Structures are given as C-alpha cells and as structure tokens.
A and B are shown apart, each in its own frame.
Chain A
C-alpha cells in the first residue's frame, strides 16, 4: 500500500454516492471501515497527527446534490445551509451576511481562505468543537439528518449535549442545518458580536470563542438574550442561566459586573496544558462583559 513520508496510507477506496440514501447504505455496509468525507481537511489533520487511522474506505459526500445550497427566506427570517457548503461560501455569501451575520464573522476567523475553500460547515459542526458552533447556536439551529428512514431533525443544542458520549449519530448523514433569525420587537435594536481569543489568530484551538445576541430598548433593557461559548476542546453551548439573569435587566455597570461573576461561576470550559480552566473562565467573562458594554455605549 502506498504511504507518504509519515507512513499515512494513501490508497483507500473512494466511493462516490449520488444520493444521501446511497451514502447511508454504503456506511451501513462498510461499518467502521468506511468514513464519510467532505472537504477532508480535518480528517487529513487527524491522519497526519496519528489521532485517527486512514480508513479503508472513504465515502465522498461531495457529489450529493441535496447537501449543497444556501436557501434563505428573508421574509420569514429562516434559512437552510447544506452540509457541503464551504466555509468560504459562508464567508462571502451576502445572503448569509444579511440574515445571519455572526456566521460570516465566524467563517472569517476559521483557518485561512485556502482551507475554507475546501472545509465545509458540516465538517465544522461534526467536529463538535468547530468555531462556527457558537455562532450557529444563536440562531436556533436544527440539524437535518438522513438516517435511512424519513429523515431525522434534531436541535443542535440537544445533539451537542450528548454527541461526545453517544456515537449513534456517526452512522447518520448530516444533510443540512436550518436556522432562524431572532425576531426584532418594535422600538428595539439588536446587538450581535462574535469573538475568538487564542494564542494565535488562527490554526490553533481558541482559548474562548463567544457569540452574543441581545435586544435592547431605548432604556437599554435587555431581552431575547442569546449567549454561546466554546473554544479549545470545550463543546460549545448556550449559557441559559446567564441568559435568564440578563433578561429584563438594564445593561449598566452593575449588571455587567454581576454577569462577569456569573460567567466565571457557571461557565465550565475544558482546560489543557497551555490554558487552564480558570484563565478560560476569566477570558470568557471579560469577552461577555466588554461586548455588553459596547452594546450600550
């Protein structure tokens, strides 16, 4: 079998199913011998790092039409992103920018253009720790899977909460991600922010990735608060307790001081040898506090 200088095999079979049903059937037949592949950028990194062995079979899902396309209905404020949409598509789509601006900013901050031209939103989501996830979580995302039957829909939040321990989803094929824009009440404005803090701008797991969306009235009273945190090996999630605390409060120095302490207390990131948990908590709290401050300035 051919191998590169690092000894990574380069001769798996590559299958090219034309439909989601065919891809799913192949996966059932091949079992752990077969791996779905889209852009392949994360898989390649894992193979090179020895974190995963190159499988005997790759199931290329890139030719499945139903996985492609950005469909946004500006009137209803809903949209669907095909799992094969590249991060470059997200970065440059004016439709995405108009309806889901945090996704544009998230895409800008992931890797570099050359990788974004290959890497897909589906792959970023299925990594469980991709930096698109905090941004997606702001938009009430629903995952659409092909599971061999009539399809399965599942909230991204729910899936993330169990995906690391329950591996059954690996048998399914992610088709698309459905999003809903937050509605804007009259006499209010919406403030959104996405931030990634890391030891480098890109190409290294972030210390904290934060996404925030709040609605403010003329008194700076907060409503429809949405706050998601992730970064590094932390599986991103909404901070519902903090969201509830902020809802109905006037964003002022006292509130921002209190929310800082609340984030430090309740956010539970994963630490590593470079950045301990305590630092990540403070970095996250600082990001949230500073963005709220910007929102009311």
Chain B
C-alpha cells in the first residue's frame, strides 16, 4: 500500500496536525469525528455552541483558514493542516470590536446564537471591510436567531463596520 493510501483510522493516535487559535496542535481523535465534538467535548472549548447538528443554524460556526464553516459538518480529517479559529480565538486579545458592537446594539437576547454570529461577521469583515446590506444578509444567511430578531444584529454589524473603518482611518493618519 502506498503511503498516500494509508488510512487514518480510529486506531491511529496522533495524526491530524492543525492550528487552533494560533497554536499548533495534533488532534488524536477518530478521523471522521466532528470538529464540534472535538472542540466542546475533547478540548472543553464550549464557546462554540451545539444546536441543529446538520449545518442549518450556524450556532457551531468556526473559521477554517479564514472562512466560516459549520463545525458540526466538518470532520477531523478535513482540518488536517488547516488553521481553525473559534470564538475563544476571536477574543484572545481582549473583546473584539464586533463583540462590543453586539453588546452595545443589543444584538443578542439569550446569546446562544451569538458566538456563531460573531464568527460569521468576523469572516465577512476580514474579507470585505465595507459590505453592502445584501452582502451582510448573504453572509449571515446561515446563522439563525430565534429570540431577539435580526434588527439588533444588523445594527451591530453596521456599528462594527463603522468602528473598524474609524480605526483604519486613525491608523492611516498616524502612519
């Protein structure tokens, strides 16, 4: 059997290298195990939320190589060599302006969907700092909120865009 065809099986113990929130790690898990369960159960990082389990609600959203993916749909082997960012990673250097915008604009009520929302907004703004309203709607179309509604969330995104723009302009002036 060629090396490239060697299976990653549940019997292997240290075979899935990746970066988690900037730290290089090796996942010693069954290769088809869901990233959601690895994060919450194995690594005890419970900021990523479990809800629908089929990629519909967005509560379990994480970034893989800078783009949002549903961790309930992502299998361990699909993370090999990738860079994963969870909500814990977003706030590692203190509260992210996107999180502050959600707080100030009332972009949450129970808060269960909020980590996933924050991840989707961060992925959007990192890629497109000045999105149009349709682009914001598309970016958040995989995140469902079932208690506070979307008005506050949209305001929070607009506020985050403003703050990031102001921060950029301020940096440009000082350069």
Contact = CB atoms under 8 A, between A and B. Distances in A.
Contact of B68 (A4, A41, A113): A113
Interface of B is mostly: loop
A11 B32 contact: yes
B33 interface: yes
Contacts of B4: 16-18, 22, 63
Given A16-B5, A17-B5, A18-B2, A114 B32 contact: no
Interface in A11-26: 11-18, 22, 26
Interface stretch (B53-61, B85-93, B105-113): B53-61
B61 A114 contact: yes
A63 B5 CA distance: 11
A13 B7 contact: yes
Given A41-B73, A113-B139, A26 B5 contact: yes
Interface residues of A, number: 39
A102 interface: no
B37 A115 contact: no
B31 A14 contact: yes
Interface string B99-127: 00000000000000000000010000000
B133 to A, nearest CB: 15
Contacts of A13: 7-10, 31
B7 A118 contact: no
Contacts of A12: 31-32
A14 B29 CA distance: 12
Contact of A115 (B8, B31, B73): B73
Contact of B55 (A4, A14, A41, A88): A41
A85 B152 CA distance: 35
A108 B137 CA distance: 12
Interface in A27-67: 40-41, 44-45, 48-49, 54, 57-58, 60, 62-63
B32 A10 contact: yes
B13 to A, nearest CB: 13
B74 A18 contact: no
A11 B2 contact: no
Contact of A202 (B33, B54, B77, B141): B141
B32 A58 contact: yes
Q: How large is the interface on B (under 10, 10 to 19, 20 to 34, 35 or more residues)?
A: 35 or more
B68 A10 contact: no
A114 B72 CA distance: 11
Contacts of A4: 34, 37, 53
Interface in B62-79: 64, 67-70, 72-75, 77-78
A108 B56 CA distance: 16
Contacts of A111: 55, 142
A20 to B, nearest CB: 13
A115 B55 contact: yes
Contacts of A113: 67-68, 120, 138-139, 141-142
Contacts of A1: 10
A203 B73 CA distance: 14
Contact of A40 (B61, B67, B75): B75
Interface in A109-127: 111-115, 117-118
Contact of A114 (B5, B9, B58): B58
A133 B81 CA distance: 32
A2 B139 contact: no
Q: Which of B61, B75, B120 has the most CB of A within 10 A?
A: B75
A204 B7 CA distance: 35
A16 B76 CA distance: 13
Given A115-B73, A117-B64, A201-B141, 6 more contacts: A10-B30, A13-B8, A13-B9, A40-B78, A113-B138, A114-B68
15 contacts: A1-B10, A4-B37, A4-B53, A10-B30, A14-B32, A15-B7, A16-B4, A18-B5, A22-B4, A57-B7, A58-B31, A58-B32, A62-B78, A113-B142, A201-B141
